[in-house]
Structure 1
């Protein structure tokens, strides 16, 4: 993987760059649709490519390990061939699932023992076998195995969790040195900064991660319940430490305004289930604000969400029709809303990149944030 930093905005830390992988190029800043089990919910790969204009998607190690399983993925030749997506893929290591399965897991130095949410069977994830699993999945960018502490966390727990994440990272790096990619393309490891919302821990973790010399770096443990301003403060602190010549990935964030604020702090890559999850529940993100398409006020609004959009789901269907689909319980409504939201997120980061290249990002962002928050 190669990252080229093209320019930085004059009045903020926002960056425009380009990531090159064996499966293609990624223009940054970028939003990555989440395809947890190898599919972005309710959206086909063709729609992701042509309507959403997605450049990279995510898969999840925990879920893919359980279903369809490593044997199937290996026989298929990896996730790219299994799901028909020939562009870059990133896989999360399962660390967040460790966080979310708090009632059904036990963390120790070796790794994490957890129970499957599918059938209750017991499994062990270690830094080593998580690297092996991601080798089998075959993603272009793979994440180190970490522990994501809850919010709020006591200082002592957050420090212990961070130190464990660092030790696990060293084991991940060593494991990758001892093994080779399974399908002939390069796989790049991103370590993950932790430390909850404690400044000294975030600083220490960012310095440790920066010192490991990986090709890209991630910021984890945010957008887990903390106030937005704390998220921005922690992200800004970390971005001041992580090397400028490598891409920075803020995991699991977030709303359109969250994305713009964090781009301004120097983040290059984002992912979140929000556009698809909220879309399936009738919440649409637009340039003018947020729409609850289930509201009766849209019942006779025969205008499209955005007639100027290049995305068919946004341009070719009226608000009244989309509301009708949701009220009638039609699956098509969920699909169209998901495609619209994803396309909007990609349009947002594409426009942010344009503004960065023009040197006008800071003023544009300031005018956009409150507009994006408006409830229509």
Structure 2
């Protein structure tokens, strides 16, 4: 018998929650951070290495995978899990965000989005029905509705029209998704920075009925203060007994603030992208390994970190391999960053369970304010 998707809350501290999302492929501890595997890989990482950092779930990208290698081909090869050698849960986005960013290459209608591939210029049509089909072929455990997400700032009329279109697409997504035991469909709340529009969106999504709910349309240029302003009310507009996912977020302090406001799931390319560009994310903030101050520093990035980069290599070595453009630089710094993110999530889960979130958050901010160690 296939294990059905469910969510259980094990502890609360203020608006923050800790619990478990149960899926057919394994449990996801919340608050959870999902590393991004855009093209069926978390860049510079082996799947077993990603798992070793503490990740329970990965995110795959519908848009990129539909273009290359193609959803039908991947289905013939056993689906995304077998293809990329990851046997745990996978969430796939709908493809909508990437298509919307191709403003010069796409045409938006009620039916969906017609666009040209950024890879080879070929023409494609992505609709709610096609997005659901692609995600079914990929075999993802958590499927996202197809939606439209305008960049901010945008005027209220544009945001309202976009939100209402997304709600019509959400209904079509639910119908096209059908009955798939063991798989979940998440609706996506839209409405920009407008509280009433987000309330209308949340009410519409709940009427349709979903397994989980995402807060979309943030981290698109509005800034942290405006984002937190929305998160002060948006999670409370969504069901208490379903997981809440803040899409595309984010920086460590964004995640901590969002958890305080009741968000359960996150994804972002930041830890892997930063690793490839020479930035290490640590308890004391970001460290730019390119800087000359690290060239003769025998210390680890973070003496309290247990990742391979910190336990086996010095800052001097990491500085050298980055400057020499050696592949191991991306591997070690990405592993470190993902390890840091998962350690942060584990700390948040433990603090919520213990009723000590305020103290954890105060220490988090104090360490970051202290900054990096003085140069040797």
Judge same fold: TM > 0.5, yes or no: yes
CA offsets 1:147-194 (integer angstroms, 9 cap, x no match): 0111111111100000000000000111122xx65xxx6210001011
Mapping for residues 1-376 of structure 1, pairs under 5 Å: 1-9=5-13, 12-50=14-52, 52-177=53-178, 181=180, 186-369=182-365, 371-372=367-368, 376=372
What SS does structure 1 have at the residue aligned with 2:232? Answer: helix
Cα distance 1:370–1:100, how it changes in 2: closer, same or farther (>3 A)? farther
In structure 2, distance between residues paired with 1:227 and 1:172: 30
How far off its partner does 1:128 sit?
0.6
Report the Cα distance in structure 2 between the residues aligned to 1:275 and 1:246, rounded to whole angstroms: 27
Residue by residue over 1:78-97, the C-alpha shift from the partner in whole angstroms, topping out at 9 and shown as x without a partner, is: 10111110010000000110
| C-alpha RMSD of matched pairs (Å) | 1.3
* SS of residue in 2 equivalent to 1:34: strand
**Alignment length, in residue pairs?**
368
Conserved in 2, the CA contact under 8 Å of 1:256 and 1:372?
A: no
- TM-score, normalised on structure 1? 0.95
For the residue of structure 2 that corresponds to 1:80, the secondary structure is: helix
Aligned partners of 1:56 and 1:90 also within 8 Å:
yes
Three-state SS of the structure 1 residue aligned to 2:347 is helix
Partner Cα distance (1:186, 1:335) in 2: 34
Q: Is the 8 A contact 1:195 1:201 kept in 2?
A: yes
Shift, 1:370, TM fit: 5.2
2-structure distance, mates of 1:58, 1:143: 11
Contact 1:98 1:148 in 2 (8 A): no
Displacement of 1:349 after TM fit?
Answer: 0.5
Return 5+ residue gaps in structure 2 as ranges: none
Q: Distance in 1 between matches of 2:191 and 2:337?
A: 31
> What's the CA shift string for 1:20-58, capped at 9, x where partnerless?
1011011100100000111001111111112x1211001
2: CA distance between counterparts of 1:43 and 1:112? 33
Residue 293 of structure 1: how far off its partner (Å): 0.8
Tell me, in whole angstroms, the C-alpha distance in 2 between the residues paired with 1:221 and 1:373. Answer: 29
* C-alpha contact (below 8 Å) 1:210/1:241 kept by paired residues: no
Separation in 2, partners of 1:243, 1:325: 48
Q: Secondary structure at the match of 1:266?
A: coil
Shift of 1:215: 1.2
Q: Is the 8 A contact 1:88 1:139 kept in 2?
A: yes
More off after superposition, 349-358 vs 93-102? 93-102
Higher RCO, 1 or 2 (CA under 8 Å, sep at least 6)? Answer: 1
Q: Secondary structure at the match of 2:233?
A: helix
Task: Specify whether residues 288 and 201 from structure 1 end up closer, same or farther in structure 2 by C-alpha distance, changes over 3 A only.
Answer: same
Q: Deviations over 1:88-146 (max 9, x none)?
A: 00000001102211111111000000110101111001101110110000010010000
Q: Does the 8 Å contact 1:70/1:133 carry over to 2?
A: yes
Tell me if structure 2 keeps the 8 A contact 1:284–1:337: yes
Tell me how far apart the structure 2 counterparts of residues 373 and 192 of structure 1 sit (CA, whole Å). 35
Deviation at 1:292, TM superposition (A): 0.6
Contact 1:127 1:169 in 2 (8 A): yes
Mean Cα deviation higher: 276-285 or 311-320: 311-320
**DSSP 3-state at the match of 2:217:** coil
1:375 to partner: Cα distance:
5.0
| Change in 2 beyond 3 A, CA 1:276/1:72 | same
Stretches of structure 1 lacking an aligned partner (at least 5 in a row):
none
After superposition, what is the alpha-carbon deviation per residue over 1:316-349, rounded to whole angstroms, capped at 9, x for unaligned?
2111110111111111101111111011000000
Q: CA deviation at 1:373?
A: 6.0
